[in-house]
A and B are shown apart, each in its own frame.
Chain A
């Protein structure tokens, strides 16, 4: 078991999926270490769900390969699935089954259940397991899928939009579960549009765009690639900082100026200090700003390998 756990939880090598002439995924090289929480982001249609389905052997790659704890996902999918629990992005459950029956079935599918933990999860997520699936709201059905994955204590959790439909309290419960899973040494591969959740939980991020890995690294790594927001206030005239190296997106009024700074802030600070700035605020970009900056403006994807 020790040698198995030293292998990456996920490793992809040039993993590709083409539908005719359209690349849904092109040349993905990605590693997820055991016990690591990796966020997988991208706009709609970027290839996130395609990646997950390739990892699970549900679809066949056009090229490349993928492994889960060293097990080839295509050649030995059943063996790979022993270590994985999966929450699909969109799936209908069985309307005539109750929550308890569905959890029983999900446990049988995986083959491994921590019964005591399942009961704890049912309590944490405030699920009434006696109700039939068709009587549940969208959020409660999602809870069933979440509990079904978490209760297996699988070495790797593959979660596709796991908090879709959950209220903020249940999102909080989910975050605690992920933190506990990580503390237990479980790896988590999280595909989500809830950027605050990804920012809070993930050790590393991988950002996908048009089927290609556009950026990957820690939040700190990614922030270095993006601009710092600086705001300065003045008692006197506002200086012209539009020509300062690294400064862009300058907006100014009579007593303050706001701008974005890429690279060193030293030239800007020098100008602001000479102009007698009375107040200085700086803010690192949020994940949402990174996301919008990457997908809203950039034409060419940049490759940053930080593992």
Chain B
């Protein structure tokens, strides 16, 4: 006999299942990097003099600041850990976010799988909303695993990061992933292919990093930090002087992009893109002489 089952939250559950393992794996990587930095600092810089020397050399260095962000309190485990991991994991998280959302949204649409999903008991916009909910849950998994490992590390007597501090640090580390999940959702509506969508989101990431870099390079244009999503994450300043209010622009930016993605999805055809795609052109035959050339061209 026929069995009625609810199909309303199917896309959300399907998305969670697709990305949960990846999110958990990267959460583990994030946590291990935090642990590695904290423990290595406490083992390498054992004395107060060594730590003060480190802080004096790198604490005010504009190059370090431009590449990795400001380095306050380098004489502490917390300060060093934040400097060592925050920018790196911010970039990794952003890349994970944009690749994950473009894979789930644009990639599945290119493969025709989105057509199958959307032919169920849902609408185009509702399906995208559910996918975003699934992506958000994946980001929560990323935060949870990162937080568990960070809090566990913080309980060590040589590290001493408080539980609230560890949770906040984990939140700061995954904030860029959340923003670029939403950015990838928008570019998936704008672009005609997954490659294009990821490319557009990567450009946004590059611009964000560039603006933040200029802001932190000691050129007197520190105000540019507020023009960059990565700058907002930097302003969170976990462990060294938390500014939780910096979560506001992060939250507003993410929510605005998510709403925009849903809006764009409801106003375009499945398989099409918001921005016009050139469907035909004269042949460009360069590099199409074999597998190697093809690989170069596609890359």
Residues of A bordering B, CB below 8 Å? 53, 56-60, 77-78, 81-82, 84, 86, 88, 90-94, 105-116, 152-153
A109 engages B10 (CB within 8 Å): yes
What would 17 more interface pairs be, CB under 8 Å, given A53-B269, A116-B1? A53-B270, A57-B118, A57-B124, A58-B118, A91-B113, A92-B112, A92-B113, A93-B113, A109-B117, A109-B119, A109-B120, A110-B120, A111-B5, A111-B6, A111-B121, A112-B3, A113-B5
Contacts of B2 in A (CB 8 A): 112-114, 152-153
- Nearest 8 A-B pairs (CB), nearest first? A91-B112, A109-B120, A111-B7, A59-B269, A92-B111, A86-B119, A58-B270, A114-B2
Q: Is B253 an interface residue (CB 8 A)?
A: no
Is A59 in contact with B113, judged by CB distance below 8 angstroms?
A: no
B61 adjacent to chain A (CB < 8 Å) = no
Chain B residues near A115 (CB, 8 Å)?
1, 3
Q: Which residues of chain A come closer than 8 Å to B111, judged between CB atoms?
A: 91-92
Q: Enumerate chain B residues within 8 angstroms of A78, measured Cβ to Cβ.
A: 121-123, 126
Smallest CB separation, A82 vs chain B (Å)? 6
Q: Does B296 contact A (CB under 8 A)?
A: no
**How many residues does chain B have at the interface if contact means C-beta atoms less than 8 Å apart?**
27
Interface string of B1-28 (1 = CB under 8 A from A): 1111111001000100000000000000
Give the Cβ gap from A215 to chain B, nearest Cβ, in Å: 28
Q: A57-B124, A114-B1, A114-B2 are in contact. Are A108 and B116 (CB under 8 A)?
A: no
Identify the closest chain A residue to B1 (Cβ).
A114
Query: How far apart are B267's CB and chain A's nearest CB, in angstroms?
Result: 8
In chain B, what residue has the closest Cβ to A76?
Answer: B123
Contact A58 B119 (CB under 8 A): yes
Whole-angstrom distance between the Cβ of A220 and the nearest chain B Cβ: 34
Chain A residues in 8 Å Cβ range of B119 = 56, 58, 81, 84, 86, 88, 109
Of A78, A92, A152, the most chain B CB neighbours within 10 A belong to A78
The yes or no answer to B91 lying at the interface (CB within 8 A) is no
Question: In the bound complex, how far is the Cα of B115 from the Cα of A58, in angstroms?
Answer: 7
Residue in B7, B10, B117, B122 whose Cβ sees the most chain A Cβ within 10 Å = B7
Q: Is B259 an interface residue (CB 8 A)?
A: no
Chain B positions 115-142 with a Cβ under 8 Å from a chain A Cβ: 115-124, 126
Q: How far is the CB of B105 from chain A (nearest CB, A)?
A: 15
Contact status of A109 and B271, CB under 8 A, knowing A57-B124, A78-B126, A88-B112: no
B272 in contact (CB, < 8 A): yes
Q: B267 — nearest CB in chain A belongs to which residue?
A: A60
For B4, B118, B270, B272, the residue with the greatest tally of chain A CB atoms inside 10 Å of its CB is: B118
- The reply to whether A108 and B123 contact each other, CB–CB distance below 8 Å, is no
Residues of A within 8 A of B269 (CB): 53, 58-60
B residues whose Cβ falls under 8 Å from a Cβ of A? 1-7, 10, 14, 111-113, 115-124, 126, 269-272
- Can you name 14 A-B pairs with beta carbons within 8 Å? A53-B270, A57-B118, A59-B271, A78-B123, A78-B126, A88-B116, A90-B112, A92-B111, A93-B116, A94-B113, A108-B5, A109-B119, A109-B121, A111-B6
Contact of A81 among B3, B4, B121, B271 (CB under 8 A): B121
Given A109-B10, A111-B7, are A77 and B112 neighbors across the interface (CB < 8 Å)? no
Q: Which residues from chain A contact B7 at a C-beta distance below 8 Å?
A: 108-111
Q: B115 contacts which of A60, A84, A91, A108 (Cβ < 8 Å)? A: A91
CB distance from B9 to the nearest CB of A (A): 10
Q: Specify which of B1, B121, B123, B124 is in contact with A110 (CB 8 Å cutoff).
A: B121
A205 CB → nearest B CB, Å: 24
Question: What distance in Å separates the Cβ of A92 from its nearest Cβ neighbour in chain B?
Answer: 4
Find out whether the CB atom of B5 lies under 8 angstroms from the CB atom of A112.
yes
Contacts of B122 in A (CB 8 A): 77-78, 81
Closest Cβ of chain A to B173, distance in Å, is 29
Minimum CB–CB distance from A12 to chain B (whole Å) comes to: 17
Q: How many Å lie between the Cα of A58 and that of B268 in the bound state?
A: 9
> Is there contact, CB below 8 Å, between B120 and A81?
yes
Cα A110 to Cα B2 in complex, Å, equals 12
- Give the chain B neighbours of A112 by CB distance below 8 A: 2-5
Set of chain A residues within 8 Å of B112, measured between Cβ atoms? 88, 90-92
